[in-house]
Amino acid sequence: PVRGSELCLSVFDALGNPVQIADDVLIYDATGRHPAPSAAAEIAAAGKRVTFVARDPSIAPEMEHHSSITYRKAFAEHNVHVLLEHELVSVSAQDGRRLAVLRHLLTGRELSTTHSQIIVEHGTIPVNGLFDELRLLSVNDGATEIASLIGPAPLRERAPNGFELHRIGDAVSSRSVHAAMLDALRLGLQF
Ligand SMILES: Cc1cc2nc3c(=O)[nH]c(=O)nc-3n(C[C@H](O)[C@H](O)[C@H](O)COP(=O)(O)OP(=O)(O)OC[C@H]3O[C@@H](n4cnc5c(N)ncnc54)[C@H](O)[C@@H]3O)c2cc1C
């Protein structure tokens, strides 16, 4: 959703290949979950200058207290500059650097800031190709009845032939390791 997103890296790109990280980066967090603050802490600990911008009024508000305080401590230790309640409006190229336009969510006031790289965390979108192909062949049309995941197993009859297809974890929507494991556990118990 960010104008100029093709000029940005995602947290997956950034942590997957740390050597490509520049000396002066802006990390934008639009989810309030682990990915952006963990990337910021990691990159700042490697000696880079990091500006952390978030939509939320605090750092990692979706996370439990012991996680958010760990990130806040790491940010303080490595002098991460924090700017809260701002959204990233656009990114453009300027003299080999990246010009980011930020908007304060309460006042609407805009400000511009320039960095070597912009790293964006906006969650993920599932890659559905394989699921869509298998769905046509499955006996349940790829649908998981939520009610059938709760209670003692087995809650329902298995189809005598063919296979069932279920989606779990981030293949449903961008969430966490815990959500993916709970989905898998519930599904496994019913089989
Ligand atoms: C930087 C970062 C930090 C994070 N920190 C945390 C954290 O601290 N705690 C937390 O709970 N969550 C965290 N998350 C989120 C967490 O990583 C995901 O929610 C979780 O990994 C989802 O698990 P999953 O098994 O559904 O999918 P994935 O972990 O994405 O696993 C899917 C696997 O399927 C493989 N695959 C895809 N297509 C095919 C195919 N066609 N054939 C074969 N294999 C295929 C992929 O290569 C991948 O290995 C973080 C995410 C990021 C990016």
Structural domains of the chain in order of their starting residue, each with its CATH number:
5-121 (3.50.50.60), 129-190 (no CATH)
Token pair for residue 82?
């924090």
**What's the whole-model pTM score?**
0.85
Mean of pLDDT over the chain = 93
Distance (angstroms) between ligand 1 centre and the Cα of 125 equals 12
39-68: per-residue pLDDT in tens? 999 999 999 999 999 999 999 999 989 999
12-27: per-residue pLDDT in tens? 888 877 668 999 999 9
Upstream peptide bond of 152 is cis (omega within 30 degrees of 0): no
Whether the CB-CB separation of 85 and 105 falls below 8 Å is answered with yes
Nearest-angstrom CA–CA distance, 44 and 23: 9
Distance (angstroms) between ligand 1 centre and the Cα of 23 equals 27
The residue contributing the CA closest to ligand 1 atom 21 is: 177
Whether the CB-CB separation of 114 and 94 falls below 8 Å is answered with yes
- The partner residues of 184 in beta bridges, in order of sequence, read none
Contacts with 16 (C-beta within 8 Å, 6 or more apart), sequence order: none
